[in-house]
Amino acid sequence: MFPGPVCSPVPVVAKRDAVHTIPRVAAFELFPARGLSDSPCSPCGLWGLWHQDGRGSMGSFGERFYVVFEALIMMMAKAMPVKSIANIVKEHDTRLWRVLNHYVHESRQESDFSAVTEVGVDETSSKRGHNYVSLFVDMKSSQVLSATEGKDASTLERFNADLEAHLGDPSNIREVCCDMSPAFISGVEKHFPEAHLTFDKFHVLKIINEAVDEVRRQEQQSRPELKRTRYIWLKRTQKISRRIRQQPWRLSRSRS
């Protein structure tokens, strides 16, 4: 057992004679250290690599320095993949994920959703293929409230339970913004009956643009002048030149 940096011993995971090389981080030069324990200290909740004498793997900086290192990891994780961070700090990405998971879990335990009244939900692909994650966001604060696997109606059920677990009240949700997925619509109607549904602008415009382009494709068979005019109809008039801006008007007039 190696003593932890604050309160108690922690179990040894790494070999006692292993040399752990730590890269230069921020303005500090770090050096290899022997006799390390790569494990969390359960009572104080700190994660890290601790010296056999309990000072922490960062030498005399000890616990305080490792917190700075973790803060750097958390800051970088907002802007880049964890694998990229691992390459920069020359550490295995699984160790960095442990740091991220620890602080996300800690933050989630302190989350208070009692003031949440407007929620946005959308799905995104988590991996190549059909692996989806649904994200729930507080529309007022832009804070991510919850993330859950899938994109079906059950995601709304799990968010309902998560909301209640963090002092939220499903009956307080007045607005839910989502795409026109039947699964999301049925989930909102079942688990948030007091909420008004709002379809997000992006998906509404996507359907409109697809309809406009489909009409253009059909009409260009009898009207060759419509060929290569797709983006004239889809782009904002402010984003095209004055000459091109007049083409939709001329094409519309030619039909009459």
Give pLDDT tens digits for 139-173: 999 999 999 999 999 999 999 999 999 999 999 99
Question: In which band, very low, low, confident or very high, does the pLDDT at 249 lie, cut at 50, 70 and 90?
Answer: low
pLDDT at 111: 92
Helix (H) or strand (E) holding 46, with range, is none
pLDDT digits (tens, 9 = 90+) for 180-226: 999 999 999 999 999 999 998 888 988 998 998 888 888 888 777 77
Helix (H) or strand (E) holding 76, with range, is helix 62-77
pLDDT at 44: 53
Question: In which band, very low, low, confident or very high, does the pLDDT at 1 lie, cut at 50, 70 and 90?
Answer: very low
Model's pTM, two decimal places?
Answer: 0.65
Question: Beta strand 37-38 with 33-34: parallel, antiparallel or unpaired?
Answer: unpaired
Q: Which of 9-18, 83-92, 242-251 has the lowest mean pLDDT?
A: 9-18
Helix crossing, 154-165 with 182-191: angle to 10°? Answer: 40
Token pair for 160: 């309902």
In the block, which residue shows the tokens 């989806």? 132
Domains of the chain, earliest start first = 2-109 (no CATH), 120-198 (3.30.420.10), 202-255 (no CATH)
Torsion region of 55: left, alpha or beta (phi above 0 gives left; psi -120 to 50 gives alpha): alpha
Question: What long-range pairs does 84-87 form, CB within 8 A, spacing at least 24?
Answer: none
Q: What is the mean pLDDT of the chain?
A: 76
The better pLDDT of the pair 36, 146 is held by 146
